[in-house]
């Protein structure tokens, strides 16, 4: 591995770019969600701050930053302060392994449009999404509040269960691409996207990531009708903001992963690769918002039942069928 200063500079530039784009996109995803939900409900949505309400994320940010940073009595100080970061940071870190464009040449260097091209990229994603569970668990535990605790217990069980079906849905992808490296997975889809070979795995993955980012049919950890706000009930100001933004970063990242694993990543005709990738991510984000505007929340036993008795066996059968098919094909 060479340590050319230009390489290191490019690396830092990529990190800064990813940070900036992801955070801005997450803030505007909040705005887009409010707008699309409003349209679905025949309303107009936020339209007062700036033209078409476009400065609304800025106003929200100012509001969150200037709010009181409150910590309930009897809460665990360090865990309480740590939990929001543990929810948001792994979500951003997952993006480091996602290739968001075809390699380009800058200053005579071949530059991968991907922060880190790890040979275990998929495993890193699984590991980091497991770490993100700690944010939910510790946030609820440290708050010293029954609603937060109930929310975090639900969140723990839900996230761990759906991680299983998500992982099993990715096994056929790895089998087809014969690599854990995400750039290899993308390149393996140059001819034909994996959604064509693996529609069942795609549906299982889609449902699992909806549960993984706690979106509405599966938003039991923060069910506002039952648990006030679930695991982040006691959080205010920017700490709540971190949980909140973390969820939207999760949507972007998991949408990006779904695009990478099943929709050919940045592959696509006519348009430049980065545009294709962004379009796919935004389509997933829109799909999640649309689902939120349509479906009601599941009951808790239905949620667990669905994961353990439907998705996981289905994913296992899918793995077996894929293996059988690959052996037959040779």
Residues that bind another protein (CB under 8 A): 36, 38-44, 290-291, 293-295
Which of 36, 55 has the CB closer to another protein?
Answer: 36
Tell me how far, at minimum, the Cβ of 186 lies from another protein, in Å: 29
> Which residue's CB is nearer to another protein, number 42 or number 68?
42
Helices (H), the chain: 5-40, 56-66, 77-94, 121-142, 146-177, 182-188, 194-197, 199-212, 224-227, 237-262, 273-294, 300-305, 312-329
Q: What is the DSSP letter of 108?
A: T
Shortest Å distance, C-beta 100 to another protein? 28
Looking from the CA of 224 toward its CB, the CA atoms found within 13 Å total 3
Q: How far is the CB of 220 from another protein (least distance, A)?
A: 18
Q: Which is nearer to another protein, 40 or 111 (CB)?
A: 40
Closer residue to another protein in complex, CB, 39/70? 39
Map tokens 């010293």 to a residue: 144
Tell me which residue of 78, 166, 99, 177 sits closest to 128, measured CA to CA. 166
Backbone angles phi, psi at 263, to 5 degrees: -110, 25
Contact 147, 228 (CB under 8 A): yes
CB of 261 to another protein, least distance (A): 23
State in angstroms the smallest separation of the CB of 308 from another protein: 17
Beta carbon nearer to another protein, 36 or 82:
36
């Amino acid at each position: 591995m060479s340590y050319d200063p230009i390489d290191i500079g490019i690396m830092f530039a990529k990190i800064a770019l990813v940070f900036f784009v992801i955070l801005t996109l997450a803030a505007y995803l909040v705005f887009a969600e409010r707008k699309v939900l409003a349209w679905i409900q025949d309303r107009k949505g936020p339209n007062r701050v700036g033209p078409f309400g476009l400065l609304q994320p800025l106003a929200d940010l100012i509001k969150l930053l200037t709010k009181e940073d409150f910590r309930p009595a009897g809460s665990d100080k360090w865990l309480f302060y740590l939990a929001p970061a543990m929810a948001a940071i792994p979500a951003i870190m997952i993006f480091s392994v996602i290739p968001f464009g075809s390699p380009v040449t800058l200053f005579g260097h071949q530059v991968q449009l991907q922060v880190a091209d790890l040979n275990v990229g998929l495993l890193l994603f699984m590991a980091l999404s497991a770490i993100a569970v700690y944010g939910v668990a510790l946030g609820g535990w440290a708050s010293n509040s029954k609603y937060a605790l109930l929310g975090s217990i639900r969140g723990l069980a839900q996230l761990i269960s759906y991680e299983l079906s998500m992982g099993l849905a990715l096994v056929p992808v790895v089998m087809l691409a014969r690599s854990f490296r995400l750039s290899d997975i993308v390149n393996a889809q140059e001819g034909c996207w994996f959604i064509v070979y693996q529609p069942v795995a795609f549906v299982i993955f889609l449902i699992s990531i909806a549960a993984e980012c706690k979106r509405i049919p599966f938003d039991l950890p923060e069910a506002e009708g039952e648990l006030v706000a679930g695991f982040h009930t006691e959080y205010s100001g920017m700490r709540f903001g971190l949980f909140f933004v973390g969820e939207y970063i999760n949507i972007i990242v998991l949408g990006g992963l779904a695009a990478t694993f099943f929709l050919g990543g940045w592959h696509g005709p006519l348009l430049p690769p980065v545009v294709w990738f962004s379009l796919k991510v935004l389509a997933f984000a829109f799909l999640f918002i649309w689902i939120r505007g349509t479906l009601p929340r599941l009951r808790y036993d239905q949620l667990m039942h669905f994961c353990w008795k439907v998705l996981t066996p289905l994913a296992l059968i899918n793995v077996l069928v894929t293996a059988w098919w690959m052996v037959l094909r040779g």
